Amino acid sequence: MGPAGPRSGEPGSGEPGLSEPGPSPPGPARGIDLAALLRTGRGEYLGLGLLLVAVLLLFGWTTPRFLSLATFQSMAFQMPELGILTLAMLIPILSGGLNLAVTFSANICGLTAAWILQTLGGPDAGVAAFTLAVAGALAAGAFIGWAMGIIVAYVGAHPILVSLSFMIFLRGVGEFLTRGGDISGFPAFVGEIGHGTVLGIPLPFLIFAGCAVWWHVLLGRAPLGFSIYMVGSNIEATRYSGVDTRRVLTLIYTLSGLMCAIAGLVMLTRFNSVRVGHGEAYLLITVLACFLGGVDPFGGFGRTASVVLALVILQVISSGLNLLGANQHLATALWGSFLVVVMVARFVVLRLRAGPNPGA
């Protein structure tokens, strides 16, 4: 006969029995349960916040010019076009797809606006002409996205193949129409929009902030946002639950194209010209920003706020490397290595979120 185990109520019994009255012995101090924190999703913000603080301190220590108002204002001018293109990439990824045509969609929308301005007076065009150019660019972006969404939703083609085909098509059309050159000669106030400030904050950054708030509300409050997450998690189950998944997919890519149009307009005002290929290097960085921000590459999970925080981190790193005089090729190599680190870190985070394996 083996030794008797602990009785109910005694330490180690595992049962909630009664114990003798008296003072309880002091337990060990409770620390931060990292796994529990990550399972709540707050660890995502904590990790990105710590990373942001780390890169700020690193570049602030290595170059004295980094922690200055001029540097931060410069970053606020540089980030909007990348940020808006990343938002255009975000919701297709959340739905389990991808939009590889974001940069060339933005360029075609910019070309549409430039053509309207040139037709209505060029440098002498007024506010009414610019308003019509903005409307034309938004319509072009929405149409491009709608066409992609129709093919993805109703034909059933994979989003990567569809968007890749559109990327090649739009690039060819743009190069044919511009013969590889720039289009410039816009009214003076167009450049003032791209380089103006409101209370010291760059106007393009305010446009990006407004787009981010729009996406945050759409994904967190609107029924369409809930449907996007459902489609990304399991499109078949979503269809069987009564959601019109074809309509949802069409709207996803239409909204993505609309956001591309906004990015194209911002680039037009920033560069005061339009050229096919503007922002072409941003494509892979938009994907990197989404993954760094905790977006599931297979869809169904991701937050706008964390993606915006990831964009700030990437912009800080880019600006810091520029101030250090780093070679552009080295910066490109760092982007690739950073993506590898993000994938490994994401694997670790997912394991911590899943909790301990009882069978291990």
pLDDT digits (tens, 9 = 90+) for 227-261: 999 999 999 999 999 999 999 999 999 999 999 99
Q: Please give the average per-residue pLDDT across 163-169, as a whole number.
A: 95
Cβ proximity of 97 and 235 under 8 Å: no
Tokens 């869809």 identify what position?
299
Convert 177-191 to b/e letters by CB count within 10 Å (16 or more is b): ebeeeebeebbeebb
Q: Please give the average per-residue pLDDT across 218-222, as a whole number.
A: 93
Rounded to an integer, what distance in angstroms lies between the CA atom of residue 90 and that of residue 98?
8
0.85 exceeded by the pTM?
no
The two structure tokens encoding residue 73: 């204002």
Just give the CATH number of 46-53+68-349. Answer: 1.10.3470
Instruction: Say which amino acid occupies 41.
Output: G
**More confident site: 141 or 292:** 141
- In this predicted model, what pLDDT tens digit does every residue of 269-310 receive, in sequence order? 998 888 888 878 888 889 888 988 888 888 888 899 999 998
**More confident site: 187 or 14:** 187
Rounded to an integer, what distance in angstroms lies between the CA atom of residue 128 and that of residue 115?
15
**More confident site: 29 or 200:** 200
pLDDT score at 58:
85
pLDDT at 264 exceeding the cut of 60: yes
Cβ proximity of 147 and 239 under 8 Å: no
Q: Please give the average per-residue pLDDT across 1-18, as a whole number.
A: 43
Q: Report the half-sphere exposure of 58 (CA within 13 A, side-chain side).
A: 14
pLDDT score at 200:
84
- pLDDT confidence tier of residue 45, bands split at 50, 70 and 90: confident
The two structure tokens encoding residue 25: 């012995």
pLDDT score at 357:
56
How high is the mean pLDDT of the chain?
83
Delimit the domains of the chain by residue range: 46-53+68-349
pLDDT score at 185:
82
pLDDT score at 8:
42
Task: Name the helix (H) or strand (E) containing 202.
Answer: strand 201-202
Burial class (CB in 10 A: 0-12, 13-18, 19+), 200: exposed
**More confident site: 31 or 111:** 111
**More confident site: 85 or 293:** 85
Cβ proximity of 182 and 254 under 8 Å: no
